[in-house]
């Protein structure tokens, strides 16, 4: 009996909605194994991905991450100009189908109850992606450990700080405070966290980052200190500018969204403006940014330069992705080592390899490394270290 038009696309949609029976799953997987299915189902996956993103439907996370990553990689192929030598993250339509089949089977099995002990082992295994976690040092020196499951109130004198999952929320203060006390929010490697400051500004901290800030802003400006990387959405207050300090650099803000990357092991400190306006000061140099621009301060010389930014690449981490555009293997491994809390062996990395594409930050490291391999470079996770193996 002939199948109705778009039968397999509808099966795919049912599967992603968790409504496929075992018989329908077997039918869908069987079709995915045929050559004729590759391009139509790839396009169906793309349409379904767009539908889910637009309608905010729930998708099994493991499945969603893998489909999303592969689709974004495929889409990015037509948008990135090849720079020789340039190596795209390896995959194609056939690979996408294979991944979908294997992932679907994994998800089908994983719906069975998992013993708590096994689940814990999976969470803490080497190469697991980062999670919401941080340590909050209060003004009296006491330390509070924060995780993704925490829901509580942290009392500091008259101030009640709410922790809800991966966010800290400070009570809103409308005027200067006569008492100034500071908190330090430190996110380790393999973590991320979000804080809403006393003025209502939002700060997202990436792995291996910290933010020092007052529990109530007390003067004519709002000053915080950052190490690592953070994304800021600042509450506009024209009479009380927001200032971010890092080393000898100041970023002055009235109300805007921007990313600041200031890792000690990177050659530059980079401020990327998404919207609004900021001024970046380094020594006697001062530059004002327009949306879509980035200021790079050389961490050795202090030289300040302005260039056009790739906003999708810069802010991808906050939405759960690595976005590599003509990126070196060294820069990529630095990002992976922070997020997966592993080391990387940079000694034998050859020059010249460049990569482009998206990878979900929710994928295990063991799945990410093969995407970065070439015919001359292989990557292996060994004793919490990413080893670079050269093929002669």
| pLDDT above 50: residue 339 | yes
The top-scoring range by mean pLDDT among 21-25, 74-78, 94-98, 314-318 is 314-318
pLDDT, residue 107, reads 30
Q: Regarding beta strands 167-169 and 182-187, do their DSSP bridges make them parallel or antiparallel, or are they unpaired?
A: unpaired
369: tokens are 């490394």
What does the pLDDT look like over 29-49, one tens digit per residue?
A: 667 656 555 556 666 666 655
Least confident of 64-78, 108-122, 135-149: 108-122
Residue by residue, DSSP assigns 113-175 as: ---HHHHHHHHHSTTPPPEEEEEEE-TTS-EEEEETT-EEEEEETTEEEEEETTEEEPPP--S
pLDDT, residue 264, reads 93
The kind and range of the H/E element at 332 are helix 329-340
Nearest to 171 by CA among 180, 160, 179: 160
| pLDDT above 90: residue 294 | yes
Least confident of 291-305, 351-365, 376-390: 351-365
For residue 177, name the pLDDT band (cuts at 50, 70, 90).
low
Tell me whether residue 263 is exposed, middle or buried, using C-beta atoms within 10 angstroms of its C-beta: 0 to 12, 13 to 18, 19 or more.
Answer: buried
Q: Do residues 223 and 251 make contact, with C-beta atoms less than 8 angstroms apart?
A: no
| pLDDT above 50: residue 242 | yes
What does the pLDDT look like over 246-284, one tens digit per residue?
A: 988 999 997 899 999 999 999 999 999 999 999 999 989
| pLDDT above 70: residue 217 | yes
| pLDDT above 80: residue 330 | yes
pLDDT, residue 245, reads 97
What's the mean pLDDT in 121-128?
A: 61
Tell me whether residue 201 is exposed, middle or buried, using C-beta atoms within 10 angstroms of its C-beta: 0 to 12, 13 to 18, 19 or more.
Answer: buried
The top-scoring range by mean pLDDT among 12-26, 114-128, 354-368 is 354-368
pLDDT, residue 221, reads 84
What's the mean pLDDT in 330-353?
A: 87
pLDDT, residue 293, reads 96
The rounded Cα 282 to chain-centroid distance in angstroms is 28
Nearest to 358 by CA among 132, 66, 83: 66
Q: Do residues 59 and 50 make contact, with C-beta atoms less than 8 angstroms apart?
A: no
pLDDT, residue 54, reads 59
pLDDT, residue 17, reads 62
What's the mean pLDDT in 155-161?
A: 89
123: tokens are 């969470």
Q: Do residues 248 and 280 make contact, with C-beta atoms less than 8 angstroms apart?
A: no
């Amino acid at each position: 009996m002939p199948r109705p038009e778009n039968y397999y696309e509808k099966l795919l949609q049912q599967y992603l909605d968790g409504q496929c029976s075992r018989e329908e799953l077997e039918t869908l997987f069987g079709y995915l194994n045929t050559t004729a299915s590759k391009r139509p189902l790839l396009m169906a996956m793309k349409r379904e991905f767009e539908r889910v993103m637009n309608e905010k439907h729930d998708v099994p996370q493991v499945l969603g991450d893998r489909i999303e990553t592969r689709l974004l990689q495929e889409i990015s192929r037509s948008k990135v100009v090849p720079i020789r030598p340039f190596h795209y993250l390896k995959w194609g339509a056939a690979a996408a189908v294979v991944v979908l089949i294997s992932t679907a089977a994994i998800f089908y099995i994983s719906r069975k109850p998992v013993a708590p002990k096994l689940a814990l082992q999976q969470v803490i295994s080497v190469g697991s992606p980062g999670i919401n976690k941080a340590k909050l040092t209060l003004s009296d020196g006491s330390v509070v450990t924060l995780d993704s499951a925490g829901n509580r109130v942290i009392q500091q004198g008259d101030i009640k700080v709410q922790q809800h999952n991966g966010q800290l929320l400070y009570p809103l203060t409308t005027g200067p405070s006569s008492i100034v006390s500071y908190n330090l929010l430190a996110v380790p490697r393999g973590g991320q966290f979000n804080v809403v400051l006393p003025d209502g500004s939002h700060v997202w901290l990436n792995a291996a980052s910290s933010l020092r800030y007052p529990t109530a802003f007390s003067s004519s400006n709002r000053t915080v200190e950052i190490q690592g990387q953070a994304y800021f959405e600042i509450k506009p207050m024209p009479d009380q500018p927001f200032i971010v300090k890092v080393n000898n650099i100041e970023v002055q803000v009235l109300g805007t969204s921007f990313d600041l990357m200031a890792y000690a092991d990177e050659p530059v400190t980079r401020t990327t403006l998404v919207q609004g306006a900021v001024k970046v000061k380094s020594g006697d140099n001062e530059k004002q940014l327009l949306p879509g621009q980035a200021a790079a301060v050389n961490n050795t010389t202090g030289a300040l330069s302005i260039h056009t930014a790739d906003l999708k690449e810069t802010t991808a981490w906050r939405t759960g992705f690595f976005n590599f555009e003509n990126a070196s293997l060294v820069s990529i491994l630095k990002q992976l080592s922070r997020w997966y809390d592993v080391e990387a062996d940079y000694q034998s990395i050859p020059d010249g390899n460049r990569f482009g594409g998206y990878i979900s930050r929710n994928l295990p490291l063991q799945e990410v490394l093969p995407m970065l391999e070439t015919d001359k470079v292989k990557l292996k996770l060994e004793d919490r270290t990413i080893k670079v193996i050269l093929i002669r």
